[in-house]
């Protein structure tokens, strides 16, 4: 059987530059080619992966696309994002160790704060700085702008609902 010439063909971001050594998988010979990506990287891929569209770049395209999608706001490693994330977990995730004290008691996060950017805007306009924690002024109320303020950890500890039992 005659080999079909593919050198110079373009598949997505890849151009075939030469034949590569064939490989065997499950007693089947698989044709590999050397390709060059539009970003400049070279690699060897199976010709079948190119023809079926499974491989379209060296991996740079996926990194670019998923990188953009995962960085909606670029704040996921900040202390404020951690406050927002843990607040929502306590109220909405029954698997969270503190859910019984928050979501289990009917405490929720207001709908506008489901968007981190909305929460961040409120936080910065209302005195947030690193090291502060969010506190509900009415311990039975929801997490919402009219019921929340920023306090130190020490103040937060003094405001806690007592979860134990007093004995005489």
Is residue 36 within 8 Å of 15, Cβ to Cβ?
A: yes
Q: Looking at residue 120, what is its pLDDT?
A: 94
Mind listing the pLDDT tens digit of every residue in the chain (168 residues)?
A: 677 888 988 888 888 999 999 999 899 999 999 998 888 888 999 999 999 999 888 887 766 655 554 556 677 788 998 999 999 999 998 888 999 999 999 999 999 998 899 999 999 999 999 889 999 999 999 999 999 999 998 888 877 655 444 444
Q: Are strands 32-37 and 148-151 parallel, antiparallel or unpaired?
A: unpaired
Q: Looking at residue 4, what is its pLDDT?
A: 83
pTM for this structure?
0.54
Q: Looking at residue 119, what is its pLDDT?
A: 95
3-state secondary structure of 116: helix
Q: Looking at residue 71, what is its pLDDT?
A: 54
Q: Looking at residue 48, what is its pLDDT?
A: 93
Q: What are the distances in angstroms from CA 104 to CA 6, 96, 100, 108, 134? A: 63, 10, 4, 9, 19
């Amino acid at each position: 059987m005659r080999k079909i010439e593919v050198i110079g063909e373009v598949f997505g971001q890849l151009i075939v530059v030469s034949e590569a050594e064939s490989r065997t998988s499950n007693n089947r010979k698989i044709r590999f080619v050397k390709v060059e990506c539009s970003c400049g990287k070279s690699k060897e891929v199976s010709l079948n992966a190119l023809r079926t569209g499974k491989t379209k770049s060296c991996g740079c395209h996926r990194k670019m696309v998923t990188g953009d999608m995962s960085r909606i706001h670029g704040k996921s490693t900040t202390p404020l994002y951690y406050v927002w994330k843990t607040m929502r977990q306590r109220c909405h995730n029954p698997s969270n160790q503190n859910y019984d004290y928050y979501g289990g008691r009917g405490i929720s996060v207001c709908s506008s704060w489901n968007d981190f950017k909305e929460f961040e805007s409120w936080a910065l306009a209302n005195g947030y700085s690193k090291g502060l924690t969010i506190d509900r002024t009415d311990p039975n109320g929801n997490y919402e702008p009219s019921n929340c303020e920023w306090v130190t950890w020490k103040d937060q500890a003094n405001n806690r609902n007592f979860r134990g039992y007093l004995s005489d």
